[in-house]
A and B are shown apart, each in its own frame.
Chain A
Amino acid sequence: MIGTLAHAAPYVGYVYPNETDIPWGILIVIYPYITGLVAGAFIVSSLYHVFGLVQFKPVARFALLTAVSFMFFVPVPLLFHLGNPQRAFNAVLTPHWTSAMAAFSYVAGFYICLLLLEIWFAFRADIVALSKTTSGVLRTFYRVLTLGSDDVTPRSLAIDHKLAVILAMIGIPAAVGLHGYVGFIFGSVKAREWWSSDLMPVIFLLSAIISGVGLLIVLYVTYSKVRKVQVDDACMQGLARTMWAFLMVVLVLEGLELLEMFYKGLEVIGMVQRLIQGPIWFSMLIQWGGSIAVLTILTALIVFRTKGKSLVPWLTVSGLAMMVAVLAMRWNVVIGGEELSKTMKGLLTYYPLVFGRGGLLVVAIIFTCPFIVLWVNTRLLPPWEPDEKAAT
């Protein structure tokens, strides 16, 4: 076939002939990554809405907008990946329920609806106010968005709040389920030694949370700089502690998983070792080096009770490093799993293309889109609290 040879993955040892055409590329790396960012952002908003951790109030509504903006783009890499994307609805209309993948549209669809509902309740009072203060097309837009309810009496707002809390409470298991489910898609593939782990859903979920918190830190600081307002200290400290806690658990679990694998020393272990030292050594270094560096910085920030202007740059760098480390982790799982041959006697190396449907350029564009949508969303529904202080 024209072109396929150029894409064929090089290998060492013995691999099955069909394996050189690697099935899942970077599109499938970015898919669990984006899903994870959604789950992480949502958990932060729930920490305020459900658990009443008031320090997260400044980012609670922003986190919801972040979650929904990224959630819109979760299915996009999957559609780009499909050989016949026009048939994607076959999996929705006639789902084959023994397939972990068949539930995707239902799980994702349910979660998007839930996010939209929660956002509506969280922003309803603002929408009503905006529908009265704006003019022209915007006024019509906000009027439609009120869904005909402009009752903002204290009693009505109390009901809104109660419903938002209930939705957030449903949202937590939904977010946890959504990402645990993504882990299941990989963990349940018994043919792939590197994926087939019972810990996969747990590790996927916890790493999702840390990447989402990292994203939120970076976004919150950036938006605050652009809007020339002060970054809330208590909120930043809360985010640092949240990231520290989840990161520590992830590192311990991932470490234990590797340890168990080597301790058991099954037939595959020689190849696993060569995989870690070979095709994925650099992304493993980013994942582990990045995670340990972030944990160290966060520990120092918490121990020394760093505040204010010295906290912001350190925490922002940590957030960014966390996002990169988790992206590397997704690569290590998805691509690493495919690079370890099913023969257990060989290793492939995957090189992403730059152009083409599954290339780096497409992935970069897909990953830029949620940021643009988020910016539009924050313009339409400003999520910021009124008591913000101007930057000094």
Chain B
Amino acid sequence: MSNQDTKVGKEASDLPRRNFLRILGIGAACTGAMVSAGSLIAKEQVNESATAPPPPKIPNYDWNKHKWAFGIDATRCIGCLRCVEACKAENGVAQDAHHFRTWVERYVYLEGEDKPRIDSQSDPQNIAASGSEKEFRFDNRYKDAKVEKAFFVPKLCNHCTHPACVQVCPTGATYKTKDGVVLIDHSYCIGCEYCVQACPYGAREFNHVLGVTDKCTWCYHRITKGLLPACVEVCPVEARIFGDRNDPQSPISLFIRNNRVAVLKPETGNAPNVYYVGIDKDVS
């Protein structure tokens, strides 16, 4: 028997014991939790209880050593939507106009109008322009209009510090990792969609094939291997910035330090971790 076989055999024999310990742990947790249920409503404890499961077994990766964050420079975005398509391809997101882990909004102020006209790539007119729900583009509807001001705003999960989605998950299937990412355990999610309701940003979508909720993971499978999220990787104009805030020289640390950044809907108390430059008062 090779060393590898021995290891596999040992792991297999550990399984019943591990399950037993898990059940024991669950029992203890239930009892403890029932006793202290009343006091758990305090907001400070929300994060305490949203404890992450054991760290993922990723070679050469320690999630205690990173603190990921994301930046959007809306002044750079050209609305090419490569990010949206890259995200769908990378993460196997449903190929239709109603399920996105990231999307881009277009804000157009016409002369004489107070409010912007807003649309995203899933707008029926834009879908008609692209001719498919698998490819995305913004149509040219403002070609002859007198545009006063216009810009694009990429959106994605904000991986909040106090995520409302994690707070409301009845099973703990969605959780906050130590390195600052909000993930979903697809094997544990019951598909109640309470988290979809709770997210103020509309960042969560439902995977009808698996019967579970899905969302942006900042391409956790890539960033833990030293790669960039797919949307950042493909952005031709560097409108998307990603990095480790623990490293003061990382692109995101520099972006936050050198710009006056804003976050979306700070009044929710969710403390988002996607930082924006160049957005307007009507962006929410």
The residues of A with any CB-CB pair to B shorter than 8 Å are 1, 3-5, 8, 14-21, 23-24, 78, 81-85, 87-88, 90-91, 93-104, 106, 185, 188-192, 338, 342-345
B97 contacts partner chain A, Cβ-Cβ < 8 Å? yes
Could you tell me the distance in whole angstroms from the C-beta of A268 to the nearest C-beta in chain B? 11
B259 contacts partner chain A, Cβ-Cβ < 8 Å? no
24 contacts between A and B (CB under 8 A): A5-B97, A14-B120, A16-B120, A16-B201, A17-B121, A17-B122, A17-B202, A18-B100, A18-B202, A20-B97, A20-B98, A21-B99, A83-B189, A83-B190, A83-B213, A87-B190, A95-B33, A95-B171, A98-B46, A98-B167, A101-B170, A188-B168, A191-B199, A343-B118
Is B33 touching A97 in the complex (CB atoms < 8 A)?
yes
Besides A96-B49, A98-B49, 14 more A-B contacts (Cβ < 8 Å) are A18-B205, A83-B191, A91-B171, A93-B26, A94-B29, A96-B50, A96-B172, A99-B170, A101-B168, A101-B170, A102-B170, A190-B164, A190-B200, A345-B284
User: Residues of B contacting A84 with CB < 8 Å?
Assistant: 189-191, 211-212
Q: Which residue in chain B gives the minimum CB-CB distance to A188?
A: B168
User: Residues of B contacting A102 with CB < 8 Å?
Assistant: 170-171
Is A97 touching B37 in the complex (CB atoms < 8 A)?
yes
Is B171 touching A18 in the complex (CB atoms < 8 A)?
no
Is A20 touching B122 in the complex (CB atoms < 8 A)?
yes
Contact of A82 among B168, B211, B269 (CB under 8 A): B211
Could you tell me the distance in whole angstroms from the C-beta of A334 to the nearest C-beta in chain B? 10
Is B119 touching A83 in the complex (CB atoms < 8 A)?
no
Is A1 touching B94 in the complex (CB atoms < 8 A)?
yes
CA A323 to CA B105, docked complex, whole Å: 43
User: Residues of B contacting A81 with CB < 8 Å?
Assistant: 192-193
CA A95 to CA B31, docked complex, whole Å: 11
Could you tell me the distance in whole angstroms from the C-beta of B88 to the nearest C-beta in chain A? 12
Could you tell me the distance in whole angstroms from the C-beta of A226 to the nearest C-beta in chain B? 39
CA A335 to CA B222, docked complex, whole Å: 38
Number of residues of chain B lying within 8 A (CB) of chain A: 65
B209 contacts partner chain A, Cβ-Cβ < 8 Å? yes
Please judge, given known A-B contacts A82-B190, A83-B210, A344-B284, whether A97 and B40 are in contact too, CB under 8 Å.
Answer: yes
Contact of A101 among B29, B97, B166, B192 (CB under 8 A): B192
Is A96 touching B284 in the complex (CB atoms < 8 A)?
no
Contact of B202 among A4, A24, A96, A343 (CB under 8 A): A343
Is B209 touching A1 in the complex (CB atoms < 8 A)?
yes
Could you tell me the distance in whole angstroms from the C-beta of A98 to the nearest C-beta in chain B? 5
CA A19 to CA B203, docked complex, whole Å: 9
User: Residues of B contacting A100 with CB < 8 Å?
Assistant: 168
Most B-side CB within 10 Å, residue of A5, A20, A91, A94:
A94
CA A280 to CA B26, docked complex, whole Å: 44
CA A345 to CA B282, docked complex, whole Å: 10
Is B98 touching A97 in the complex (CB atoms < 8 A)?
no
CB under 8 Å from chain A, chain B span 161-192: 164, 166-173, 188-192
User: Residues of B contacting A190 with CB < 8 Å?
Assistant: 164, 198, 200, 268-269
Question: How does the 8 Å CB contact mask read for B121-159 relative to A, with 1 for contact and 0 for none?
Answer: 110000000000100000000000000000000010000
User: Residues of B contacting A192 with CB < 8 Å?
Assistant: 197
Could you tell me the distance in whole angstroms from the C-beta of B131 to the nearest C-beta in chain A? 15
